[in-house]
Amino acid sequence: MLDLKFVVENIDEVIKRLETRNADFSYLRELVNLSEERRKLLNEVETKKAFRNEASKKIGTLKRNKEDASALIQEVANIGDEIKGIDERVIVIDEKIKETLLMTPNLPDASIPIGKDEDANVEVRKWGEVRKFNFQIKDHVDLGEDLDILDFNRATKITGARFVVYKGLGARLERSLMQFMMNLHCDSGYTEFIPPFIVNEDSMYGTGQFPKFKEESFKLEGRNWYLNPTAEVPMINLYRDEIIEGEKLPFKYVAYTSAFRSEAGSAGRDTRGILRQHQFQKVELINITKPEDSNQALEDMVRQSELVLQKLNLPYRVITLSTGDLGFSMAKTYDIEVWIPSQNKYREIGSISNANEYQARRANIRFKRDKNSKTEYVHTLNGSGLAIGRTVIAIMENYQNEDGTITIPNVLIPYINAKKIQK
């Protein structure tokens, strides 16, 4: 979350920057009043405690000298209750401040474009040649059903809409991509993790999923547990409420998880096929750095995610998200969009983001440069490396052949042990 002191001291600037997200943040002005009221109450408490301490000394002296201390005793008799009452008022104010900061998104980085929505996103670069087909192409749904490698009907019977059953070489393609991506990132210096797929409420608050997206999360009945929406949640919460030795930073991790999302805000969008599902597999890059290193880490992570598509020879582009399309916890985000032939456009396959210290404040993750230095908040970054289901779509559609078969990209042949998917 945002730093209260910074918000209060720069209230006009903070509101101005946040309102580039196209929402009203005037409610933050109440933080100025609450902060001032809190300061006055704390001063009042300290004054009363100082008076009580001084009076106690005087009472002791009077009693030792066998003098009457009753008036002074009466004067301090109710101070304890008064202090307790003030402390309770401070607790209420602290809770209001915390609730306000938890519902407030991160400040957009000054370098990103200002805009209302995704139409204001800016293309950074493109890579690869878009294939020109000399036959009538199919989308991944028709390809998958014709080749009997994707079964949507039985998935609906088992569970419901927006699920799929992978079969045969379809299942092997999905698994091969996971192994390929994990190996690629590990060979590039990332440490491999497979964290729990279930997280608790504190973890969801720590990375900014709660309170904003609480109603869109899958909760386990009878438990304070939630299905993991992205490996970002368990991985960053590895260090919640910890102080890290500065010389150990940065941490560069790669994690494989299933991810679960209700997609409540996307009703009616991309319901055909596996582009937007309630359950999908994902490889996630995580970087925890010192503040001065996070901007470069973001650029490095984007290049790392791009490497997956380059190895697979899939055309893509990188875009910078505008303020109106920026995620709640993020200060800056790059999206990688892969070419989807059936839609004749680029579609998101990965997002790589820098949260700066926003998540670290929520999760209380700090570091010390040395044993004598003060604690500072780390910067946290996360990025898709990549979403496996969407990579499956891109391979199926870009590598399809006129006879309905799908050629396997060269780098995957050792994993899948086949050169082509066919009936």
CA dihedral sign, ordered 144, 145, 149, 155: positive
DSSP state of 252: E
Residue 65: the pLDDT is: 87
Q: Tell me the pLDDT band of 266, cut-offs 50, 70 and 90.
A: low
Per-residue pLDDT at 263 exceeds 80? no
CB proximity list for 39: less than 8 A, separation 6 or greater? none
Beta-ladder partners of 283: 256
Tell me if 112 is assigned to some domain: no
Average pLDDT over residues 167-192: 98
Same domain, 259 and 284: yes
Q: Are residues 284 and 169 in the same domain?
A: yes
The pLDDT score that the predictor gives to residue 87 is 95
* Domain span including residue 224: 118-421
CATH number of residue 23's parent domain: 1.10.287.40
Q: Assign 70 a pLDDT band (cuts: 50, 70, 90).
A: confident
Q: Of 49, 76, 102, which closes a domain? A: 102
Query: What is the reported pLDDT for 68?
Result: 84
Q: Do 131 and 258 share a structural domain?
A: yes
For residue 268, which of 278, 276, 256, 259 has the smallest C-alpha distance? 276
pLDDT tens figures, 399-417: 999 999 999 999 999 999 9
Region 329-348: what's the mean pLDDT?
98
Please tell me whether residues 125 and 248 are part of one structural domain: yes
Considering the domain architecture, whether residues 255 and 358 belong to the same structural domain is answered as yes
Query: Which sign, positive or negative, has the C-alpha torsion 371, 378, 234, 242?
Result: positive
d(CA 207, CA 16): 24
* Pairwise CA distance, residues 377 & 249, whole Å: 12
Question: Quick one: pLDDT at residue 67?
Answer: 83
Number of domains in the chain: 2
Note the residue count of the chain: 423
Q: What angle do CA 299, 112, 108 make, to 5 degrees?
A: 100
Position 110 in a domain? no
Rg of the chain taking only CA atoms, in angstroms: 28
Could you tell me if 310 and 252 lie in one domain?
yes
Q: Is pLDDT of 157 > 70?
A: yes
Inter-CA distances, 80 with 48, 51, 92, Å: 9, 11, 19
Could you tell me if 59 and 143 lie in one domain?
no
> What is the Cα–Cα distance from 397 to 311, expressed in whole angstroms?
17
Please tell me whether residues 87 and 169 are part of one structural domain.
no
**Domain check: are 176 and 225 in the same one?**
yes
Question: Quick check: is 107 in a domain?
Answer: no
> What integer pLDDT is reported at residue 144 of this predicted model?
97
Rounded to two decimals, the pTM is 0.93
Same domain, residue pair 188 and 89 = no
Of 102, 137, 158, the residue at which a domain comes to its end is 102
